[in-house]
A and B are shown apart, each in its own frame.
Chain A
Amino acid sequence: MTLLQRIKNAVRKRSIHICYVNTGSCNGCDIEILACLSPRYDIEQYGIYVHNNPREADVILITGAMSAQWIDKLPDLWDRVPGPKAAVTIGNCPISGCAFNRPGSLIDPPVSKYIPVAAAIPGCPPRPTEIISAILNVADTLFENYEIKSRGKKP
């Protein structure tokens, strides 16, 4: 491993930029992400910054059960995120549709049909601490040695 790679590994672990995308959730999960910002949980002490801009994000947090409006927009948004990148879904809705997955509803879960999902946090909604720990776990394993792992693959 080169020195450059070691520096990249160390830096990426401590600087994770986040964008959250609401694809038809009820707000509950979004509010729990916001609660992570509060000084009690203090998400920035782990080097996680919520910018909500897909073009500078490393991790996209996806809440909601994939409403019809997002089916073409979410893969588009995913393409705009620069690598290394990861998608983490929050709550039951992106996994199964939760209470909304009934005949006649306008949703099409799961989210993993449309973009590759690295991790899923179940719960309706999950607690802020669970969200933070999931992001930290995912970022550690996915972003380590990214250049070596992605060698030979198309970007």
Chain B
Amino acid sequence: MKKVVDVSLPIGPVHPCFKEPARIKCETCGERVIATEVELGYVKKGIEKIMVGRPWQETIFLAERVCGICSVVHNTAIVGALEKISSIAVPPRAMYLRIILNELDRMQSHLLANYSYCYTIEHETLAMYLLNLRETIMDAIEIMTGTRIMAAYVVPGGVREDISAATADAVRAATFHIETELPRFVKMFETGPMIALRSKGIGILSVEDAKKSGVVGPMARASGIPCDARDQVPLYQELGWHMITRSEGDNFARIMLRFDELFQSASIIKNALAALPSGPVRLGGRVVSGRCRNVIEAPRGNLTYDIAVDEVGRVISVAIQTPSIMNVEVGSHAMMRNLASIADVTATFISTDPCIACAER
């Protein structure tokens, strides 16, 4: 059957809903959107290329600057890969501190994703509440590492500096603030009739499509696929992590899943602070040549670093696989098809939590 296309409508690259430049081409028939296509490539810098040939000390800082939202997780991933190559031991206290910072990073990223979604569906009140709540987490990160973004806290062999009892109290207070304030906003989102009209049953990603496309992270879990790299880390199980999944696979499920994970992250931080072992936070090691692949769970899904270094510590080759590229592509192929309105395109696109800087590097 021949498709009837009225107008091919471009959205972006500079658009009120987008944090980053991306272009969505929509083929519309009246108000209905038949098909969409996402065009990327506006922020390509070639980070992997300039990493090659550099000493690995420099590539840690470059890896952090792949993405500003989830900079901590990129830092942890590349340092984890380098530690695996050279068999550098990490002291237990540093492992706990890494988990605390990673979960704080996940919390601020999920709050930002939910803020963006609420802003896109024009529920500005809830969006501002969530953005203000995010500042609490940013404060906790600043108290712990010294800066809000690009902390460079994780270094090979441990973490950069220890935390004091006062810092631990401040982080504990921040998670307590989230746990007491957030249920009110979750209830607002869950029971809001207008939010339900804009979210429930829109942008559905079926289990078959999700399995076929290799989607990862909160998007896969919202479609009922248990996919989380944290299940490979025994320390997370000790701290009370468990897989959260939902079965609906629509915009509402994705946002609610992020809310559920926020509570889980807060409880992981609380457990980690309670069980924080004493001891050193940084040990040394020697760099040897080798190649290794390290997968960890970023706020948006599986993040893979495949890195090879030579015997003097120069990077021979590096490949980064970020979760956003899968999620954005499946968004255009499976979710943003046959939508009732052009306004649902941006809402569905934002509900995938696209990180274009991650995807293009």
Contacts and interface: CB of A to CB of B under 8 A. Distances in A.
Interface stretch (B38-46, B91-99, B284-292): B38-46
B357 interface: yes
Contacts of B62: 99-100
A26 B67 contact: yes
Contact of A26 (B44, B46, B112, B357): B357
A113 interface: no
A32 B149 contact: yes
A67 interface: yes
Contact of A104 (B41, B50, B150): B50
Interface stretch (B11-19, B168-176, B181-189): B11-19
A138 to B, nearest CB: 20
Interface residues of A, number: 43
Contacts, number: 121
B66 interface: yes
A35 B69 CA distance: 12
Interface in A21-54: 21-32, 34-35, 37-40, 51-54
A145 interface: no
**7 closest cross-chain pairs (CB), A and B:** A28-B68, A27-B68, A38-B131, A102-B50, A52-B16, A24-B43, A27-B357
Interface of B: 13-16, 18-21, 41-47, 49-50, 61-62, 65-69, 71, 112, 115, 128, 131-132, 134-135, 138, 148-150, 355, 357-358
24 contacts: A21-B21, A22-B19, A23-B43, A26-B67, A27-B68, A27-B355, A31-B69, A34-B115, A38-B128, A38-B132, A38-B135, A39-B128, A39-B131, A52-B14, A52-B16, A53-B16, A67-B43, A77-B14, A98-B65, A99-B61, A99-B62, A107-B46, A125-B68, A125-B148
